[in-house]
Amino acid sequence: MSSASSVRPVSEQPAAAPTGIACDIFCAVIDNFGDIGVCWRLARQLASEHGWQVRVFVDDLHAFQKLCPSLALDRARQAVGGIVVEHWHEPAHAGDTLEVADVVIEAFGCELPPIYVAAMARRERAPVWFNLEYLSGEDWVADFHLRPSPHPRYPLTKTFFFPGLGPGTGGVLKERSLDAARAAFEASQPEREAWWLKTTGRAPPPLTATVVSLFAYENPAIDSLLEQWRDSAEPVVLLVPEGRISGAVARFFGLPAFAAGSHAERGSLSVHALAFIEQPGYDTLLWASDVNFVRGEDSFVRAQWAAKPFVWHIYPQADDAHLPKLDAALAHYARTLPADARDALARFWHAWNGTGRPDWAEFQRHRPALKQRAAEWAVELAQVGDLAGNLALFAKSQLK
């Protein structure tokens, strides 16, 4: 954000006073940036808002550095913004000095180093051990959230912590300052103009244009959508962070590549390629757009807090196992939409996830209703509670 803003970016909020609670987060980067994206966001929030002393074990520093450019790739242990980062070299590795924290978070079933689990069992007071699961909007999540799982050999209990979109779940990550930061950006025309100039090298587009951010996995539906945007009756400005969809955009314009800083136009479509964006900057991109195409888990959550219409590219799984998760999220998000708008949104999401052809004109017709619902949904989702706050509250209840 520009210095003109009266609200600090989410990443620059003053840290809370240390509480003495030490927390270790273990993260194996399976694919893309979602796993470390969620873990890094959680780590920063536990440190800044709850005063915890946080250490993150991560096995892929290259993926991590994309989200956190200040990270050094050649260091086994380093501090970044008050958080200790350990390069997790191999499954058996638990740091050069074995230290067991008060709270241990095993992210997404990555499995803790056996030597660390054994040390947990030897600790005078067993740590609070969480298995942080992937986000799902499915109904069964509330039944399994906070369910204990005793270890087969040690006197330890692992608690399953399920993020979710409905009551009785762990909720999703949201910093306390996020709404104020978004409101400040949206209220400040000078700040928005400065953002456009810095990000694209150009002034903001006219109000008649629809601004779309596009963050997606490779997607065969993109060609049809680019053609529809090109032929649209109203201008479409597309903002594309450099990534897995960039090749398809380049081919559409007959270019060898579409690297950061590139710009192309055809018909009603104008496209800007952006550099890969670190987490705080990604929120601003969502706020600056009218419609957000997001993927995976972390950007999916951020789009909901941006309170703008969005389209989710869920991580594809074998045998279409991801489609029930897509429908479960739709059931929450689209619950109060008029039937025609709800059906149009479902058709578009399904087309973007491999079933059918996306119909941009139909989506646009329902955008006023989708915009209103997006704002209402952000308020509803906040009632479930913030994931970091929910996790911290439960952990403290177990540490008493």
Q: Is 159 helix (H, G, I), strand (E, B) or coil?
A: strand
Q: What is the rounded distance in angstroms from the CA atom of residue 181 to the CA atom of residue 284?
A: 9
Taking the mean position of all CA atoms in its chain, how far away is CA 347?
A: 23
> What is the spatial distance between Cα 209 and Cα 194, in angstroms, rounded to a whole number?
18
CB-CB contact of 338 with 294 (8 Å): no
Q: Residue 380's closest CA among 321, 336, 316?
A: 336
DSSP per-residue codes, 86-137: EE--STT---SS----SEEEEETT----HHHHHHHHHSSSPPEEEEEPPP--
Q: Could you tell me which of 62, 353, 67 has the C-alpha nearest to residue 218?
A: 353
- Of 86, 297, 298, 386, which is the active-site residue? 297
Across the strands, what pairs with 54?
23
Beta-carbon contacts of 102 under 8 Å, excluding residues fewer than 6 positions away, are: 21, 22, 23, 127, 128, 395, 399
Q: For residues 56 and 259, what is the distance between their CA atoms, to the nearest angstrom?
A: 31
Name the active-site residue from 35, 175, 191, 386: 35
297: annotated active-site residue: yes
Query: Would you please indicate which residues are annotated as catalytic (active-site) residues?
Result: 35, 297
